[in-house]
Amino acid sequence: MKKPPVRNRAKAPPKNAPKKIQKVPIAILISGRGSNMRALIEACARPDYPAEIVLVLSNRPDAPGLEVAEEAGLKTLVIEHKPFGTDREAHEREIDAALQASGAMLVVLAGYMRVLTPWLVNAWEDRMLNIHPSLLPAFPGLHTHEAALKAGAKEHGCTVHLVTSGVDEGPILGQASVPVLDTDTPETLAARVLEQEHLLYPDVLEMICDVFAK
Ligand code: GRF
C-alpha cells in the first residue's frame, strides 16, 4: 500500500512570540576603552535590534575594550600595526582578510585611532561607519572639545558618518548636540558629548541595518 506523503507542517508561532528578524553581521574596530562599542554590544543584545557583532578587532593588544568584548562572549582579534612599520596598507590587508573571514557586512569604527588608507576605505565603500566627537564639519581631527571651547562654540556634539578617504569628511548619517556651558572644561564637555555618542551610534546603526536588511 502506498504510504501517505509526509507533510512537514510548520507550527504556527505563539501569538505573542517576538518576531525573529534577520540581523546584519557587523565588525567593530577599536583601539582603546571601547565605551561606544559597549553601547553597541548592549543594543545588539536586544532581540529586535537588526545587527549582530561577529568580530571585535583592535590594533592594540592592550586596548581595555578587548576585555569588555570578551566578557560579552564576542570573538576578538588583535592585529598590531607596529610589525608593519610604515606599510599601512599591508596592515590593512590583514585587517581586511579578517573582516572578510568574519562574514561582516558592515564595519563600525568605534575609537579606532588610525587614519585609514584609501585602499581599505575603498574596499568597504559605503559599508564603513565612524563616530566623531564634534558636529562635523566643525572640528575634524583630534582634540575637538578643546577646539570647541577655544572657538567659543555655543553648541557641540557628535556625528556618525560614512568613512571616505578624507578624514572625518564622509556623508553625515546622524548628529546629536549638547549646549556648551560657561563652566565647561574639555573634560566636562567630553563627558556630556560621550553620553550622546552612546545614544546616537546605536540609533544610526539601527537605521543603516534596516536599509541593509531590505
Ligand atoms: C569617542 O569619543 C569617539 O567619538 C572617537 O573616539 C572616542 C572613542 O571612545 N572616535 P570609546 O573608545 O568609544 O570610549
Segment 67-86, tens digit of pLDDT: 999 999 999 999 999 999 99
Residue 190 CA, closest ligand 1 atom number = 2
pLDDT at 98: 98
- CA of residue 194 to ligand 1 center, whole Å: 8
* Residue 102 CB–ligand 1 contact under 6 Å: no
Active site residues: 132
Contacts of 70-79 with CB under 8 Å at 24 or more apart are: 72/41, 74/41, 75/102
The answer to whether the Cα torsion of 161, 48, 74, 90 is positive or negative is: negative
pLDDT at 20: 72
Amino acid at 11: K
- CA of residue 34 to ligand 1 center, whole Å: 7
Confidence check: pLDDT of 2 > 70: no
75 touches 47 (CB < 8 A): no
- Residue pLDDT, tens place only, 93-116: 999 999 999 999 999 999 999 999
- Residue pLDDT, tens place only, 17-69: 666 789 999 999 999 999 999 999 999 999 999 999 999 999 999 999 999 99
Q: How many CA atoms lie within 13 A of 201 on its CB side?
A: 30
pLDDT at 12: 63
* Residue 157 CB–ligand 1 contact under 6 Å: no
Q: How many CA atoms lie within 13 A of 16 on its CB side?
A: 0
| β pairing state of 172-179 and 24-30 | unpaired
- In this prediction the pTM is 0.91
Computed over every residue of the chain, the mean pLDDT equals 94
108 touches 55 (CB < 8 A): no
* Residue 132 CB–ligand 1 contact under 6 Å: yes
